[in-house]
Chain A
Amino acid sequence: MFRVKSIDYNSLHSTLNSQLIKMKESLLNLKRRKLRTVLTILGITIGIFALSVMGSLSEYLTNSIDSGIRYTGDIVRVLPRGSFGIEAVQESLGQKLTTLPHVKSVTGGLETQIDSSDSNSNPFSAKTAFGINPESANDVFGKIPLQDGRLLQKDETDTTVLGHNLAAQSNLKVGDTETIKDTKLKVVGIFQPTQNNQIDDAAIVPLKIIQKATNVPGIVSFFVVTPDQPENADLVAKEVNDKYSKDFNALSPSDLKKQIQQGLLIFNIIILAGAGLAAVVGGFATINTMIMSISERTREIGIKKAIGASNRQIMQEFLLESALMGFLGGAIAVGLGKLATIAINAFTASHANGLQIFSLTPRLALLSIAFATFLGAIAGIIPAISAARMNIVNALRTE
C-alpha cells in the first residue's frame, strides 16, 4: 500500500506545542537551582562577552581593510626605490613606466601629514593630504563613492575633496573653504564614509600645492599606475618589478591583499583564541553543573524511564537544558557586549577624533549566540549520555 505523505498541521502544531512544553520544563528545572544556574550562565556570559567584544574589534579591522581593497584594488601603487629604501624622486621618473604593456596612465603623488593642533588626534590615523594631478583624480580615487560634489578636475589649483571624517570634524560642506598647508582651498567634494581611516581622514589636493607648501617642486613620493583593464593590475605590478627593480617597488593589489589578510588572520587568531578560551572555561562550568544536576535528579530519571521515556528522550531533555543555558549566557553576553562597544566607541570618539574601533555587527551577534548555544549543547553531551544510560532499577533505588 502506498502512504501519501501530506502536511499534517495538527501534528505540526502538536510538535511545536510539545517543544514549548519541553522548553518550559527546562526553564523550570534551571529555576530549581537558581544560584547555580545563574553562576553557570555567568560563566558562559563572561566568555562570550569577551568573544563578542574582541570579535567586534576584529570585525572593524576586517571591514576597514576590505573597503580599502575594494576602493584601491584596481590600481598599482609604485614606490620609488632609493639607496635608503623608499625615497622621494623626480616626477619625471614616472615616464619610464608609461612604456610598459597594459599601462593606461601613470601619475605621481605626494603624501604629507596635515598639521594638527588638536592634541586629542586619532592615534591610529593622522590627517593626510594626498597631492595628485587633478586630471588623474578619477583614475586614482574614482571608485570611492562621493557623498556630495565631485572629484578634482583638470587644471584646478585651488580645490580639494575631503574624506568623510575630516569634513565632519571640521563641519565642512561642499562650497566651504578649508585651509590646508596655508593655502585656501574650496571644498568641491566629500567622500562617503568608507570605514577606512586612510581615506576617511584624507584630503585630496592638487599636487602642485603640496609640492609648493613642502618646498619640493617636481618631487613625488609615490606613483599610481592605472592598468588598461582592472584584471591586469597584477600583471603590471609584475612587469614593473621585473624591469625596473632598481628604481621601483610595485605593490600588486593581490599581494597587498594577501599580506594584509595574513596579518589580520594572525591578529584574529590571537584575539579569538583568547576569547575562545574564556568561552571554553564557561563550557566546563556548564559540564559541572549538568553533572550535578543529573546526580540530583537520578531518581527522577529512573521514574521517567519507568513510565516510558526512551534513552534518546532523556538525553534530549538534558541537552535542551544545557543548550538553553548556553543560549541565555550568549544572549546576555551579546547584550552586554553591545553596551560595552557603544560605551568604548563613544569614549574613543570624543577623545580621539571620532575613532570608533569596535563594530558588533548582527553577523557577529548571531554567531556569538549560536556559538554559546552550541557550547552549552556540547557541554551537555557527556552528562546527558550518562543520564540516558542510567540503569532504571538502580536509579529508582536512589533516595
Chain B
Amino acid sequence: MNENNVALQTRDLMKHYHQGDALVKALDGVDLTIHKGEFTSIMGRSGSGKSTLLNMLGALDRPSDGSVKIDGIDVAKLSSRKLVGIRRSKIGFVFQQYNLVPTLTALENVELPLKYSGISSKKRLQQATKALEEVGLGQRTRHRPQQMSGGEQQRVAIARALVTKPAIILADEPTGEVDSHTAEQIIDLMKKLNQELGATFIIVTHDPAVAQHTNRIIMLSDGRIESDAKIDAK
C-alpha cells in the first residue's frame, strides 16, 4: 500500500500507569494501520483498552512507549502546544453523550473547531452550514441542543467533527445514548459520509449491531489486538 494513503499508524503502542501499587497495562503493544477512507470499528469489553487507544489516536494523551503517526506525523513526543494543532487539523471527535456546548446554537457548535483554528467568521459560516447540510440538518441551524432530539444532537456532533475536514473522525460509542432505530440512522449517516466524502471513521463500540455496519472490526483484549478482520458491511 502507498505510504501516503495511511491515515493512522501505531507501532508497539504502550500505555502503562500505576493504580496504587499495581502496574496497569492499558495498552500493551498495539500495531495498527488505518488507511484513508476506511470505515473501521474497534470492539472489546470495558477495560480492554478501547478508550485508552482512542485517546492516543486522538492526540488527547501521550503513550508510555511506541509511536502514533497521525497523517504521517509522529505525535508521541510532540509538545502539548503542537498536539493542539494536530487535534485542530487532523482529528474530529464524536462522543457518546453528544457533548454539544449547551449555550451555543447548532451552527455555533459546528463553528467552534473552526473558531479555535482562527478561521474568519465568513468562512466559518459557509463551512459550518455546509457540514450541517451534509448531516441533513440544514434547517435547524439556529436551534440549541436542548431543543433537539438525541439523534439530532448526535448529527450536529458529527457535523462538528466533519467541519475541519480531518484525516480521521474518531467516534466513541456514538450510538450509546440513543434507541436502536436512531442508532441505525446515525451509523447510516456516518457510512454515507464515508462513501460520499471519503471521510475516515474509527468507531469504538460494544454493540455488535453497529460493528456489523463497518468494513473492518478490530477486537481488543487486555490492551492487545485480539483479532483484526475485514468484513462485508451489512
Residues of A at the B interface (CB closer than 8 Å) are: 10-11, 13-14, 17-18, 21, 25, 28-29, 32, 299-300, 303-311, 313, 392-393, 396
Contact = CB atoms under 8 A, between A and B. Distances in A.
Contacts of B115: 18, 21
Contacts of B161: 307
Interface in B132-163: 160-161
B87 A308 contact: yes
A11 to B, nearest CB: 6
Contacts of B122: 10, 14
B116 A308 contact: yes
27 contacts: A10-B120, A10-B122, A14-B120, A18-B121, A21-B108, A21-B115, A25-B101, A25-B103, A25-B104, A25-B108, A28-B103, A300-B101, A300-B102, A303-B95, A303-B99, A304-B116, A306-B60, A306-B87, A307-B113, A307-B160, A307-B161, A308-B116, A308-B164, A309-B84, A392-B61, A393-B61, A396-B95
A10 B92 CA distance: 28
A13 B122 CA distance: 10
B93 A306 contact: yes
> Among A11, A13, A304, A309, which residue has the most Cβ atoms of chain B within 10 A?
A309
Interface in B62-114: 80-81, 84, 87-88, 92-93, 95, 99, 101-104, 108, 112-113
Interface residues of B, number: 29
B33 interface: no
Contacts of A29: 103
Nearest to B163: A307
A310 B61 CA distance: 15
B120 A393 contact: no
Contacts of A307: 87, 92-93, 112-113, 116, 160-161
Contacts, number: 70
Given A14-B121, A313-B116, A396 B81 contact: no
B5 interface: no
Contact of B55 (A18, A303, A304, A393): A393
Contacts of B81: 310
A13 B124 CA distance: 13
Interface string B214-229: 0000000000000000
Contacts of B84: 305, 308-311
B120 A11 contact: yes
Contact of A299 (B60, B92, B99): B99
Given A392-B60, A393-B60, A396-B60, A308 B117 contact: yes
A95 B115 CA distance: 83
Contact of B116 (A299, A309, A392): A309
Nearest to A309: B116
Contacts of B113: 307-308
Nearest to A20: B121
Nearest to A307: B113
A15 to B, nearest CB: 9
B49 interface: no
Contacts of A32: 102-103
B58 interface: yes
Nearest to A313: B116
A388 to B, nearest CB: 11
Nearest to B86: A308
Contacts of A396: 60, 95
A28 B160 CA distance: 21
Interface string B118-133: 0011100000000000
Contacts of B101: 25, 300, 303-304
A115 B80 CA distance: 81
Contacts of A313: 116
Contacts of A18: 115, 121
A183 to B, nearest CB: 76
Given A25-B101, A300-B102, 16 more contacts: A14-B122, A18-B121, A21-B108, A28-B103, A29-B103, A299-B99, A303-B93, A303-B95, A306-B60, A306-B95, A307-B93, A307-B112, A307-B116, A308-B164, A309-B116, A311-B84
Contacts of B93: 303, 306-307
B132 to A, nearest CB: 16
Closest 10 CB pairs between A and B?
A: A308-B88, A28-B103, A14-B120, A308-B116, A14-B121, A17-B121, A303-B99, A307-B113, A310-B84, A392-B60
Nearest to A306: B93
B8 to A, nearest CB: 17
Contacts of A393: 55, 60-61
A303 B99 CA distance: 7
Contacts of B60: 306, 392-393, 396
